[in-house]
């Protein structure tokens, strides 16, 4: 009987451990979701993203983003479009940091305009040249909705 209870306890612990991270979104999942919406997604280096910014820092409360350049396949886009993806350990951490830090931090990237999307454990900031009608906003929103 003790062995059965011990075995049941181990199974319960394994199930709880497996469910602990469920629901969090990874960078890879976002990239794939964007590609499914017909976008070309190219991950950039953090240094390249920092060079684009006219702000002293692009981190949120010490958390650096994973930067992407977005484009339409076979389209000659007049301006570059970017996505800065801030991935936190959990949705609770994201919410806590937002309250503490007032995120997303007011950074500036040249003449681009920020469009912020928050979902679960991440903050996605889509930077578009067009303030009133961001070129790739529909695809970015659909991708985030599917996660």
Task: Give pLDDT tens digits for 7-58.
Answer: 334 433 333 333 444 589 999 999 999 999 999 999 999 999 999 998 888 8
CA distance 3 to 47: 55
How far apart, in Å, are the Cα atoms of 142 and each of 23, 30, 106, 117? 18, 11, 25, 11
Mean pLDDT in the chain?
A: 84
CA distance 23 to 120: 7
Using alpha carbons, select from 40, 99, 136, 20 the residue that is nearest to residue 124. 136
Does pTM surpass 0.95?
Answer: no
């Amino acid at each position: 009987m003790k062995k059965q209870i011990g075995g049941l306890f181990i199974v319960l612990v394994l199930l709880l451990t497996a469910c602990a991270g469920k629901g969090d979104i990874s960078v890879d999942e976002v990239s794939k979701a964007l590609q499914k919406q017909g976008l070309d997604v190219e991950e950039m280096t953090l240094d390249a993203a920092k060079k684009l910014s006219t702000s002293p820092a692009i981190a949120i409360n010490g958390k650096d983003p994973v930067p992407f350049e977005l484009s339409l396949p076979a389209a000659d886009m007049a301006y570059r479009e970017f996505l800065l993806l801030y991935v936190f350990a959990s949705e609770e951490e994201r919410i806590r940091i937002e309250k503490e830090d007032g995120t997303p931090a007011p950074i500036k990237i040249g003449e681009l305009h920020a469009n912020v999307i928050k979902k679960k454990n991440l903050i996605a900031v889509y930077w578009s040249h067009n303030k009133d009608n961001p070129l790739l906003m529909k695809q970015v929103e659909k991708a985030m909705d599917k996660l």
